[in-house]
Amino acid sequence: MFILGIETSCDDTAAAVIEAKGGSKNPSFSVLANVSYSQVAIHKKYGGIVPNLASRAHLQKIFPTIKGALSAAKTKLDDIDLIAVTRGPGLMPSLLIGVNAARALAYKFRKPIFGVNHIEGHIYSNWLKPIREFSILNFQFSKKNLFPALILVVSGGHTELILMRDYGKYKIIGQTLDDAAGECFDKTARLLGLGFPGGPHIAAEAAKFSISNFQFPIKLPRPMINSKDYNFSFSGLKTAVLYSYNDLIRKYSPKEIRPAMAAEIQNAIVDVLITKTIKAAKDLNPKTVMIAGGVSANKMLREKMTEKIGLYNIPLIIPELIYSTDNAAMIAAAGYFSAIGGSAYGEDYLKKKETWKKIEADANLNL
């Protein structure tokens, strides 16, 4: 099955073509093209995403991006068996561009179409040539060995712990009560005068930190790290950074403070994410643990999660960096599982006509 994936949930205009086969028992994917247009240059001066500007950029880039993906994959729309598009959650002005483009193509070329949950797409990024940091030798990547899977989804808009019992069967066992981890990275980076998006800039600044060149101890809170549930909270950490940074710049220059502050911000966020994931893994005894979402690209999170999960002899699955952030290949993969009956909310559109009428954007779509 050749699948065209389209992703416009936020500020990346993305299209991909994948070849999928193997059914649900032994699925395999070949990514033939994965094209993305980033809007970082547009939004960085505002320190965050401006929805109307994002929508306008999507409108300008959506069809050139789709054409680019088809060209790179050496395919035409006539060759495509299925169109998969992100229908939510996300920014409504952005979602509408992708959904309407996908519906137009499905109508014109009479192709089946699936609306994909963006979070489900991130989950299935782990099926696209994952980096498998297995603590168990000779582990086989198959359905019977994967589920139940504990998945930490962590991005700019979402921080959730999900128990996945089978393809399309999810239970959210923990989530942020306020800010997402990625949002905390963005906002604290802005407080420190760093760039957007915040995660990479915080990590780069933290890499400069050395105890020898800044002796003042900075200790930030780890909100809800010891709570009995699996929920998260990062709003208080953001506030603590604001007050701590304002106090320190009265005594030190920003250049002196930023590396130490960035290092502690990163440590605090990663500590909470790992502690909650380990707690859930110990309580629920999953067969595998996975990470997904844009913040899964964070080097410290990957390294520490690999170390900690390895102590419990549980296989850890991490997507390649190229599939960690928003991309259309993961949306195409999620569309495949929807088509073969592994969707939590989809119908069997492959047996219906004029399926372009069925897909609607939903900014608050639940998993």
Q: What is the pLDDT along the chain (367 residues), one digit of tens a residue?
A: 999 999 999 889 999 999 998 877 778 899 999 999 988 788 877 777 888 898 899 999 999 999 999 999 999 999 999 999 999 999 999 999 999 999 999 999 999 899 999 999 999 999 997 555 544 556 777 788 899 999 999 998 899 999 999 988 999 999 999 999 999 999 999 999 998 889 999 999 999 887 655 666 789 999 999 999 999 999 999 999 999 999 998 888 888 889 999 999 999 999 999 999 999 999 999 999 999 999 999 999 999 999 999 888 899 999 999 999 999 999 999 999 988 875 443 444 445 444 555 789 999 998 8
Structural domains in the chain (count): 2
The verdict on residue 62 lying in a domain is: yes
The verdict on residue 364 lying in a domain is: no
Enter the tokens of residue 175: 């989530």
Residues 6+ away with beta carbon under 8 Å from 205: 192, 194, 258, 259, 262, 263
Structural domain of residue 327, as residue ranges? 2-129+323-357
Coil, strand or helix at 341:
coil
Kindly state whether residues 124 and 217 are assigned to the same domain.
no
Which residue's entry shows tokens 């994931």? 277
The verdict on residue 168 lying in a domain is: yes
Kindly state whether residues 163 and 249 are assigned to the same domain.
yes
Kindly state whether residues 108 and 61 are assigned to the same domain.
yes
Alpha helices in 118-253 (DSSP H): 118-124, 143-146, 181-191, 198-206, 235-248
Kindly state whether residues 119 and 149 are assigned to the same domain.
no
The verdict on residue 80 lying in a domain is: yes
Rounded Cα gap, residues 186 and 238, in angstroms: 10
Kindly state whether residues 8 and 118 are assigned to the same domain.
yes
Q: pTM to 2 decimals?
A: 0.90
Kindly state whether residues 109 and 217 are assigned to the same domain.
no
Kindly state whether residues 158 and 250 are assigned to the same domain.
yes
